[in-house]
Structure 1
Amino acid sequence: MRRVFLALTSSLLTGMLAGCAGYHPAPLPEAPDLRGSLAALNRTLPDGKALNVAAPLSLQDVAALAVLNNPDLAAARAQHQLGEADLLAAGRPPDPSISGGFAALLSGPGAMPALTGGFTQDLGALITGPADRAAARAGLKQIDEGILWQEWQVAAKAEQLAINIRAAQATLASLRRDETLLGGVSESVQQQIAAHNLTSNEGVTALSALASVQSAAASIAQTAQQEADALDALLGLRPHTPVPLATPHLAPPAPKAVQAALASLPTRRPDLLALRFGYEQADAKLRAAILAQFLPISIGGSGGRDTSDVWSFGPQFSLTLPLFNRNRRAIKAADATRGALRAQYQAALDNAEGAAAALPRQITLLQSASQAAQEQAAQARAMARGAARAYGAGQLSGPAYANLAALAGERQRNAITLHAQLQNAELSLATLLGFGLPQDGVLEHPAS
C-alpha cells in the first residue's frame, strides 16, 4: 500500500510538471509598420499569384491589396486564435487537485509522524462537455464569419475610394481645362474692355465663371487628396503614397441574379452567419447552464499513514443536490442572451433584405439620370466647340463664349458625378448581396 501511494503521488506530480507551459516575451513594436510603396506591400494572392502593381490598379486589384495589407484586418485575424483557445479548452476536465499533510508525533503511544494525502477530480466536464464544445465551435465560426465580413467591408471600402478618387480626378481635370480656357477668355475680355470695345458689366460674366471654376477646383483637389490619404491608410501605406488607378468598371447587376442572391442571403452573408453562430453558441450555453444544476461532482481518493504505521487508502466523492439554488441565475441569463440574439438576428435579416431590395430601384433611376447627363454633356460640348469657332472668327463675344464654355464644363462634371454615384450604388448592391463571397474560403471582391 505504501508503494502504491507513493508511486501514485509521484506520477501525478511528474505529469503535472511535464505539461506546464513556459513563458516567452513578446515585446510591443517600437515603430509604425506603414509601407512606402505598393511594391513593398504583400501582393501574394491565396492561389500563389502576385498582383502586378506596376500598371494602374483595377477595382479588384485595389480590393485585394486592401484585404491583404489592411492593419485593422491583421488585428482582427488574431481573434481567430482566441476562438481556437476556447475550443481547445471547451469540455476538458479541470486539472485534478492533490493534497497532503504531515503531523509530527508529540506524545502518546504512537511511534512515528502521521502522513496524509489525496487527490480529487471534478467530473462536471463529463456532463456539460458536449454543450461546452458545441458552444466553442459555434463561437469560433462566429469569429471567422465576423472576420470575413470585415474583410468584405474593407474590400468594398477600397473599391468605393477608388471610384471616388477617379471621379474626383476626372472632375479636377475638367475644372483645370475650363480654368485655362476661361482664363484666356477673361484676359481677352479685359483687353476688350481696356480698348472700350466692351463695358465692365460685360466683363463680369467671364470673371465670375473663372472664379467659380477656380473655387470648385480648389475644393475638389482637397477632396481628392483626402480620399487618396484614406486609401493609403486602408492599404497600410504611408500618407501621400501614390496609388495609380485604372478607370473603374462595374458590371450592372442582372435582375435574376439579384433575386437569387436575396433568397439565399441568410446562408451567404458573413454578418448574418456570424449572428446565426452567435445564437447557436448562446443556445449551447443555455443547455450547459441547465446541466450545471447538478454540479459540482467530483471523485478522488485519500489515504495515508497514522502514527502506529497503519496505512490506508480509499475513494471519496461529492455531489451537489439541486434543492435551493439550482443554477437559476445562470440559466435565466443564458436564456435572456439567447432571446436577445434571436431578436438581433431577425432585425439584421430584415435590415439586410430591406436595404438590398431598395437599391435596384435606385440604380435604375441613377442609370436613367446618368444616361441623360451624358447626352446633355455631349450636346453642351458640341455647342461649346461651335462657340469656340465662332469666338475665334470674331462672330461671338467673349462673355457669350464664356457662358457656353462654362455650361459645357458643368454638364460634363455633372455626368461624372452621376456616373460615380451609379457605380457606388452598384458596388453597394454587390456588397449587400454578397456577390463574389467565397464558396471555398477564397475571398473575391464586390466588383468582380
Structure 2
Amino acid sequence: MAESIRYPHNWGKAWALLAKAAADNGDTLDALKFADRADAEASSAGFDGTGGALALLVEVADATGDEVRAALLADRVEDFARSHRPSPRGQPGPLAVVLIREMLRGDLDRVDALLPRALGAGAGAYAGARAEAGAGAGGRGEVCLWDVTDGRLVHGPLPGHPDGVLSMTALPLPDGRVLLASGGDTGTIGLWDAVTGRPVLEPAANWLGEVTGMCGAPLPDGRTLLVTATSRGAVRLRDPATGESVGRLNPSGRPIRSVTAVPVSGGHTLIAAVDTQGGVHVWDPAVDDPWDPGAAVQLKDRALSDAGHRVAVVAAVPTADGTLLATGDDRGAVMVWDPATGTPVGEGLPPATGTAGLPVMAATTLHDGRTVLVTGTRHGHGLRVWEPATGAVRQILLDVTITCLAAAGPEVIVGHDHGVLGVPLARR
C-alpha cells in the first residue's frame, strides 16, 4: 500500500496519514497497525517530514486512548524539533501539535517548557568548560559562558554562531588550554577559548548534517581530537587547530543520537555512541581503519536484548577502578558496562514512575570518592541521583524545566529553559 509510493522516504508519512485516517473513522485496529508501520519507518531512518509524521502519531495515540504512547511520541516530536530547523514561515511545525495537546490537557508546566523551544530559545546544550565555569547555548545560536559557582554570566552571547546549537563539549588540550566546541543544527562547528570567550575557529558549516553530539578524544600519541557526530551518521575526528577532518568512525553510517568518550587502560580513549535505532557502537579513534576494532569491545547484544534495553543516551562513569560506560533508555532504565569486556556491571537502575521520556544523564565523582550518576528527562522537573556501587537512589525536585545535564565535580549543572543551575550532589 504505502510502499507503492515511488520514493521510500515518503513511506513513513504515508503510513502516518493512513493511521490518522483510520483513527478518525473509528477503526482502532487498522489505526494501530498503520501507526506501527509509520513508527518503524521513523525509527529506522529519518526522512523529510519525520516530525510531521510523529506529530500525526501523537494524535493517533490520543484518539485510540493510549496516553503512555502519546506522551512518548510527544517527547520524540520535541526531540526532533530540538535537532532540526524550524518549519518554513507560515507553516505549523510538528511541535505545534504537542503544544496544542498539552494546552488541552491542562499541563501548563509542559507548555511553559515547550514555548521557548518552539520560539527558538532555551538552553539546548551545555558543557563544563573549565573547573569553575560552564557554557550553554540554545535554539537561537547564542553561546554563553557562566560562572557555575554563582550563576554569573562571564562571556556572551559569543558572536558568530549562525544556527541553533544542538551540542557542546569542553576540549582540554595538552598545552593546558581548554576550548569550547559547539555544533549546530545546519552542521556548523565552532571552537572558542573558554577563558577569553574569543573564537579560536570561526563557526563553519559542513554538509554532513546537524551535529547531534560532540566529545574530546585524547590519543596515545599525545594529541586531543574533537569528535563530532551527525544525524546523517557522519562521525569525524577533527583537528581542533583547524577544524578539518583527520579521520572517521561509524562505518555503519547509522544516524547518531548521543556520543561520549570513555578513557580505558593503556592510554586509549574509546568513543561510544548510540544510533537512532537504539544500537550502541564502540570505536577506537587511535586506529586508521574505521572497520578495525583496535581496543574497542562491543557491548553484549544478549545482555541488551534480555533487559529490553533500547538505548537512547550514553555517558562515561568515572570510578576509582577506571571508567565505565552507562547507557540509558526512554523508560528511565540505566545499565552500566565494563568497556574492557562489554558486559554489564551490577544490577542497573530500573525505571520508576515518571521517568519515561527523552533521557539526559551525567556522572561524576564526589569529594569522598563516591561515584554518582544523575538522570532525568527533558522537559521534566526531577532528577534521580544513583550510586552504582551501593544501589542507593534519591530524588531531587527542581522548579525549572530540564533540557540537559553536565557533571561539574561535586555538582551537576542543569541546563534549563531559562539558563543554567548548579545542583550540589553531596548530602548535607
TM-score bucket (shorter structure): under 0.3
Which structure has greater strand proportion? 2
- Could you state the TM-score of these two structures normalised by the residue count of structure 2? 0.19
User: Using CA pairs below 8 Å that are at least 6 residues apart, which structure has the higher relative contact order?
Assistant: 1
Rg comparison, structure with higher value: 1
